[in-house]
Every structure is written in C-alpha cells, then in structure tokens.
Amino acid sequence: MATTPRGRLDSKLGAALRLVLCSWSLLCCCCFFFFLPLALSADGDYEILLRVKTDQLKDPDGRLHDWAPNAGRSPCNWTGVACETLTGNGSVVAIDLSNMNLAGGFPYDFCRIQTLRNLSLGSNYFNGTVTGPSFSLCSRLQWLNISYNYFVGELPELSPGFANLRFLNLSFNNFTGEIPASYGRLPALSALSLYSNLLNGTIPSFLGNLSELTLLEIGYNPFVQGPLPPEIGNLFRLERLWVAGSNLVGEIPSSIGKLTSLKNFDLAYNMLSGKIPDAIAGLRSVEQIELYDNNLSGELPEAIGNLGNLRRLDLSQNSLTGALTEKVATIRFSSLSLNDNLFNGEIPPVLASNPNLQQLKLFNNSFTGKLPADLGKNSGLVDFDVSGNSFTGKLPENLCSRGKLQTIIVSNNRFTGSLPSSLASCDSLEYVRISNNGLSGEVPPGLWGLQAVFYLDMSHNEFEGAILQSISGPMGLESLLIAGNDFSGDIPVEICQLSNLTVVDLSNNQFGGRLPTCITNLSNLQTLEMQGNLFTGPIPSSVRPWTYLTELNLSNNQLTGSIPAQLGDLPVLRYLDLSRNSLSGEIPTELTKLKLNRFNLSHNKLYGKIPLGFDRELFVSGLVGNPNLCSSDLKPFPKCTRARPATFYVLIALPVCFVLLFPFLVWLIRTKLHWLGGQPRRVSKISNFQWISFSDDEIINQLTDANLIGSGGSGQVYKIRLRSGQMVAVKRLRDRTQNPDIESVFNWEAETLGHICHGNIVKLLFTCTADDESRLLVYEYMEKGSLGDVLHGPVDEGFLDWPKRSAIAVGTAQALASLHHDCVPAIVHRDVKTNNILLDEDFSPRLADFGVAKIMRQDATEDGEMSRVAGSCGYIAPEYAYTLRVDEKSDVYSFGVVLLELITGRRPNDPWFSENKDVVKWVTEFALSTLEAEGDGNSDGEPGWCYGDLAQLVDPRLSPSPNDYEEIEKVLNIALSCTSALPINRPSMRRVVELLKDKKVGPFQMI
C-alpha cells in the first residue's frame, strides 16, 4: 500500500522526537556520572586535609586553627585553601601555606587531592627528604614551591607524569648531589629555581631542553668547576638567567647570543675567563648584565652598544682592558660599573647626555683625560666614583644640578682648579672624598655647612682659606679630613658642636691661634691629628671627655705650657705625639698609666726627672731634645743630682736597715718556699704588649679559687689586683692533654690581640708561659663582665636601657669594622656573640676572645674553607655551618644576631621560641607578616613599623620612648639586613657602622 506524503511526514517527526528524547536521557546520565565524582572528590578533599593536619603537620602557632570539622564538610574557607569557583563544586585546586611556621616532613598526602594544581609550602621548617614513590602522587601539580625550608638529600625525581608542571621552586634548602636528568624532560616547565642549595654535581647540558623556560635560577650552589653549558642558548624564551656564585670556569659561550628574550643576565662571582663574546649583541631584550668578580679579560665588545634596552651593566672586578667606546657610552644606562679593571683612555662626552644615569663607578682603572663637562647636567646622578685613575682638568660643574647627588669620590687623580660652586648647594650630599688631587682655591662657602654630609675628605690638595663658622651645619659629620692643604686661620669654636665627630685630621696646614678649649667636649672623638700647623698657647687641660680617643698628634706646632696630667686618664689612648713644640714643665707621672704604642715628647722644653715608667731605653727617642730632663741612669740624659746631706744619710741608713732586715728576709724566703711546696713556680717566657709594671709571683700566686670569676671550654678566668693597684683578668688555658687546640688558641689570641689597637677591642696586656706549661693571657679587667651576662642576668647586675644597648651596638660594630677593613690582611673573628663582648664600668663594649679568629688569605685553604667549624650555636651563618667557607660576611651575620638579641632581650636559641626556630627566623617571619598585613606601611601610611608592632618584639623590660622606638626600628632593619640568608646581600661592617649612626635608614625590604 502506498504511503501518502502526509504519512511519511508523520513518520519522520516521530523518529526525530525519539532521537531528541534519547539524546536528553544520555546527557542527563553523563551529567550525573560527571558531577557525582566531583561531589565525592570535594568530600574526600575535606577528609584528606584534616588527616594531613593531624598526622603530618606541626603547627605550633595554630595558624591552621580553622582546619576543623564543619557541617558543610567543605574546606574552601580554610586558611591557605583555594577551591574551584567556576563550576561551584568546591574541589580544592590550590594550597598555599607559605610563611606559617609549620614543620614536619613533606606532606605527600596533599597530592592525593586529584584536583590539586598548586602547592606552596615556602618559608617554613619542613625537613627530611623528598623522594620515593609517594612523591609521584604530586605529578598532577602545575606549581610546586617548597623554597626556604630545611629539606635534605638529593633533589626529587620527576617522573613523566609531571608533564604539566610549569613552576618549580626548590631554592634555599640543603639539597645535595646532581640535578636529575628527569628535570630536562619537563615540556611545560617555565620557571626553575634551585639556587642556594648544596648541589655539588655539574651544571647539566640537558637544561637546554626546557624550551618553555623563562626563568632559570641555579646560583649560589657549590657545583663542580665547569663551564656554562652552551645548550643554555637553546632557551629562546628565557628572560632571567641567574648562575652567580656557581664555580663557573672557562669562557662565556657564544650561544648566549640566541637568548633574544633575556632581560636579566647574571653570571657574577664566578671564575669565568677570556673575552666577553661579541655574540652578546644578540641579547636585544636585556636590561641588566651582571658579570662582576670574574677573571674576564680583553676589551669591551663594541656590540654592547647595540643593546638599546640595557640599563644596568656591572663588569667590575675583572681584568678588562681598552677604552670605553663612544658607541657603548651612548647606551642609556641607569647604572654603569666598570671599576677595578684595567680600562684606559678618555671618557666619551656622549656619556653626559644620558638622561637616565644615576650611578657611575669607574674607580681603580687607568682612565685619563678630562671628564665630560656636562656630567650630571642631564640626569640625576646619585652615586659618582671615579677615584684611582689619572683624570685631569676641572671637576664637572653640574654634578649635582638635579639635587640628587649623595656620594662623590674622585680621590687619587690629577684634578686641578677649584671645586664646582654647585656643590655648595647640594643638600643631598652625604659622602665626599676628593683627596690626593691638585684642587686649589677656597672651598665654596656652602660646602662647609651641608647638613647631610657625614664624611668629608679634602686632604692632600692645594686648598686655602679658613674653615667657616658654617661648619656647625652637618650635625652628623663623623670624619673631617683636610690634611695637607694650605688652610689657615683659627679653628672656629663652632666645630665643637659636631658631637658625632670621630676622626679629625687638620694636619700639615697653616692653621694658627689657640686650640679651642671646647674641643675636649667632642666625646666621640677617636683620632685627633693637628700636627704641622702654627697653633699656639696651651693644650686644653680638661680632656676627660675623650674616653674614646686612641690617637692624639699635636706635634710640630708652637704650643706652650705644661702637658695636661689628665691625658694619663684617657682609657684607650695608644698614640701620643706632642713633639717639636715649646711645652715646658715636668712630665706628668700620670702618663705612665697609658698603654702606648707610640710615645713622643721630644724636642720641647721639658725639665725634671723622667718618671719611673719612662726611664727605659725604649722611650729614649720620645724624650730626646729636652736638655733639662734628667734620669738616674738612662743615657744620654744627665743624672739627676741630689743634695750631699741627703746622700750621706742614705748611705748610713742603708747598711743599718740591711742588718736589721736580713733575718726577716731569710725567714720570709724560707716561708715562701714552704708555701709553694719547696720551690716557687717560675715564668719561663713573658711577652709584653702594653707597658705595665708587674712581677711573676703576683700573677702566679693569685691563681686561686678565691679569685676565680669564670670558667669555659678553654680554661679559667681570674680577677687579680696587681701591687700597682691595677685590676687585670687572667685567663689560664687548660692543659694540652685536656684540649689539644689550646696551643693554637694561645698563639692566635696573642698574635691578633697583641697587635691590634682599638678602643672597642679588649687589650691584651701580656702573655706568660710558666714552667709547668701553664699558658696565661692577661687582659684589662672589664668591670661589668660580658654583655650576655648583663643582658640576660638579674636586673640588679646592671640593667641596660636602650641608649646603652645602642651604644654597645655601635662600639661592637666599630671593632669588627676595624678588623675587617683596617687590618691588612683582614681578620675574621668567627665567634661574635654577646658572651664575647665585654663591658667596662661605663658599659662601653670591648670585643674579646680571638682564639678562633683567622687572618684572611693566610690561613684559608685554597678553596676558601677553614679547618674546622668555629662559632656558637645560634650565631653561625648558615653557609658557614654547611661549607666551612669563611669570610667577613660570617661575622656580619653573627653581629646581626647580636643586634636582635639586644632588641628582643632573648638568647638566639631561647626555649621561648617554638621547636626548630631561632631569633633570626622568629623576627624575620614577624617582620614579613607585619609588613604584609600593613601593606608595607605604618598607620600613617608611611613605610615602616608601627610602635605597636615593635612592642611585640622589644625586650619587655624596656620602656622605650618614641625616639627610642625610631632608633629600635632602624637597628632592627639593619639586623635583618645583616642576617640575610645570602652573604652577598649582607652589608659590610663599615657600612653597618654608617647605618647605625645614620638617622635616615629606611624600613626593611626583602630582596
């Protein structure tokens, strides 16, 4: 039967309807089976997180207190947990527990959450290894950050399942060994950070396979010496390459020219050699190049001039030669550092047209010619150092035209002419060193009064004129050095208002008139050199405020009057030269109390008997030229005459006294022999480092329990009063059978302290070696004991308010700065701690205990390591404990811990801290959390701390004033900088001293 058209249409509509119904049913089934696992997954995530918190995490601060059961069985509002928001199914996609003071092993069970893509555990106390099959559970992750923890062992293997991993940060742990080959098989990886571990294998070439990589940070690892693999050039997407401090040797591969996206190129602090390749021109996106502290040679590639985006170039501390070409000088650098190389030639004038230039460091090269006249005219120069070259001509007039110049150092050149007048209004200027040139004329009047200047060195030029009264302007001035010029006139009394002055050198000028009596009010003065002038009148007599003065030189003047007896009361005076004046009177016996390294009173008009303490051949050269001095038997001085009647009676009295006293002397000697067991102990060797009167027996006989004041690992310490009345501290080292290192401790202590003179370093008076092989170190006695005892002891032993603590910090910093920067070669203390900082009766600090100190370059092995770990728990720099590498930055870290101890009043490993935490970790975490919570600002919107925040850190026994809080904030910022985990980020001790005395140190910023 034939179907009608209408029948066929009905049949098609029915078929279509059945198809729609079937499709709808299928879709509903798919949705059910898709969302059911997600719902079950969300519920499973909730259970997993609770289990991990209970079984695998230690949370001493209760930061995860909200990880608790709830009615909705949802973790999405828990701290550090992020859930999927688009689908609304509540599955966990990210966990961020960074900086929460958590501990434990690696929490593998987090990775059982199938939807987890991001896991961040950085800046905590997680430890142990990260290996084994359990880690494969994390293969679904796209982001993994476990940096700044305490993981050990080899780097975790990454199975092929990690194909979607894009970000991997394992930096700042204690991982060792090689970089696994599996790391070269991560096709999606865009960021790899492994820096600051203990990786000691080679830098593998397979890293060049990571074609998606934009960031590669593997610096500061003790890799085996080797070249930078040329395969790195395959990473055409790379934007940051940081391989500093990684034992790189050989030449920079030319393949780096293929890194066209690179913005930051850092291979500093290695041993790279050869030339900088011309292929560097390929880095067309580069903004910063850091190649300092290598062994690079050859000329600066002209191709650098093609890098139009380059803003910061640091090639310092290499052996580069040739000239700075005009093409390179056209680059608009904001910072150009070519210092400490072998460059020569003139500086192209085009450099001055750069509108971006802020920092120019060309010092210690062989540049010649004139500086570009317009330097500073077109840009806001901040830091300008061209010292140690052969520049000639005038200084550029516009160096401070933009009013931003803070540092100008042009010393040791051949500059001539007058100073630029624009410097007179440069209110931003802080540090001026223009010494050893041929500059002449009068100093621009405004320069004397620039208020921000704290260091002014114009010595050894041809300046003339007077010091103006405006010298009182720079109230923070610490060093005034103008020796070797033609300055004249009187010294203005306004100089006495500069209470922060520590070094004054006005020597070898034409100054005249009387010395201002108020100069003795400069209580922070350490060095005063005024020799070689025309000063007249007496030496000011009231010198007791000079408690820090170590050097006084007033020689070659026309001074008259007597020598002030109060000079003998100056506690740390070591250098006294008053020679070639017209001083008269007798030599004050009080001067014999000084422990002088240099003593010169020669060529004056002194008369009378030479005091007993100076009546020795050692002092002859410092006494000659005074024809009216006499001595009992010191040649070439005439004998002091006595009236005959007195001599006659003495000659009669002596035999009579001898006859009467002889039996008593016999009895005394026999009794003494009996007391000492029949034969007194004798001292077989004495080494004097200071002039002091003593005898063997008064030291040996007083080493009794009654005089014992302390005992440590190296021996006992005794408090002994000499017959002269002087109190000394005697350290008797243990027998070598008890401690085989005693001999080295004794020798190092004598070698270092015996030849160091500084007001904040304890004075070693002399050493003794007795017949019984006892080794004695005799020091000046410190009335208040150690800083550790005073800081952590009962308040009645002497409470340290904040001003005292601040002064102790400055004094200790000055001692370390002297060891690091003034001693040649430098000395590293290696055991800086509060127990090794002694306090005198005025709470002035003295750095002590140099038994493990090391002289750099003489006692380090070829790889820079020391023979054994020295230091005290809590004070040891992290890199020192693991590698035994030691330099000045190790002391800087320890000093930073001391600063934190002064602020908090807590020992470095105080039990008050939670497990696996010390004062550095505690304060750093508090700082980061506080600044983060406040948006890096205080309640006024200004950068810094709030007093309420600081109060949580400050020793509760203190009651700081608002001014004290400002000072504490400054010291805290410095302490955090000193305790930076990376040595390169720590300031030098010289810089620390400057910062401690600076009133404008800004808030702490993480690097």
Q: Which residues are annotated as a binding site for ATP?
A: 731
- Looking from the CA of 548 toward its CB, the CA atoms found within 13 Å total 22
Please state, in angstroms and rounded to a whole number, the distance separating the CA atoms of residues 880 and 870: 9
Q: Is 239 left (phi over 0), alpha (psi -120 to 50) or beta?
A: alpha
Count Cβ neighbours within 10 Å for each residue of 937-972 and write b for 16 or more, e otherwise: ebeeeeebbebebbeebbbeebebeeebbbbbbbbb
Task: Return the structure tokens found at 967.
Answer: 């000072």
Please state, in angstroms and rounded to a whole number, the distance separating the CA atoms of residues 178 and 850: 38
Please count the helices (runs of H) and the strands (runs of E) in the chain: 14, 56
Residue type, 218: I
**Rounded (10°) angle between helices 989-997 and 888-904:** 30
Q: Is 831 a catalytic residue?
A: yes
Please state, in angstroms and rounded to a whole number, the distance separating the CA atoms of residues 201 and 195: 14
The answer to whether the CB of 724 falls within 8 A of the CB of 791 is: no
| Residue 495 CB-density burial (10 A; 0-12 exposed, 13-18 middle, 19+ buried) | buried
Please state, in angstroms and rounded to a whole number, the distance separating the CA atoms of residues 223 and 204: 10
Beta bridge partners of 552: 528, 576
Residue list for the binding site: 731
Please state, in angstroms and rounded to a whole number, the distance separating the CA atoms of residues 516 and 539: 9
The answer to whether the CB of 543 falls within 8 A of the CB of 567 is: yes
Contacts 24+ apart (CB under 8 A), 338-347: 338/313, 338/362, 338/365, 339/363, 339/364, 339/365, 339/385, 340/316, 340/364, 340/365, 341/315, 341/316, 341/317, 341/365, 342/366, 343/300, 343/367, 344/368, 345/369, 346/370, 347/371, 347/372
The answer to whether the CB of 356 falls within 8 A of the CB of 311 is: yes
Nearest CA to 994 out of 815, 810, 862 is that of 810
Catalytic residue among 340, 505, 831, 949: 831
Residue 820: DSSP 8-state:
I
What H or E segment, with its residue span, contains residue 290?
Answer: strand 288-290
Beta strands, E only, 737-774: 764-770
The residue count of the chain comes to 1007
Please state, in angstroms and rounded to a whole number, the distance separating the CA atoms of residues 610 and 599: 14
Nearest CA to 346 out of 326, 327, 331 is that of 326
910 Cβ partners below 8 Å, 6+ apart? 919
Please state, in angstroms and rounded to a whole number, the distance separating the CA atoms of residues 817 and 607: 42
- Looking from the CA of 797 toward its CB, the CA atoms found within 13 Å total 13
Beta bridge partners of 94: 82, 118
Residue type, 617: E
Q: How far is CA 307 from the centre of its chain?
A: 35
Beta bridge partners of 366: 344
What H or E segment, with its residue span, contains residue 82?
Answer: strand 81-83
Task: Return the structure tokens found at 469.
Answer: 């009264």
Please state, in angstroms and rounded to a whole number, the distance separating the CA atoms of residues 296 and 524: 44
**What SS3 class is residue 350?**
helix
**What SS3 class is residue 19?**
helix
Please state, in angstroms and rounded to a whole number, the distance separating the CA atoms of residues 381 and 409: 13
Please state, in angstroms and rounded to a whole number, the distance separating the CA atoms of residues 834 and 909: 13
The answer to whether the CB of 730 falls within 8 A of the CB of 718 is: yes
What H or E segment, with its residue span, contains residue 753?
Answer: helix 742-753
Catalytic positions, written as ranges: 831
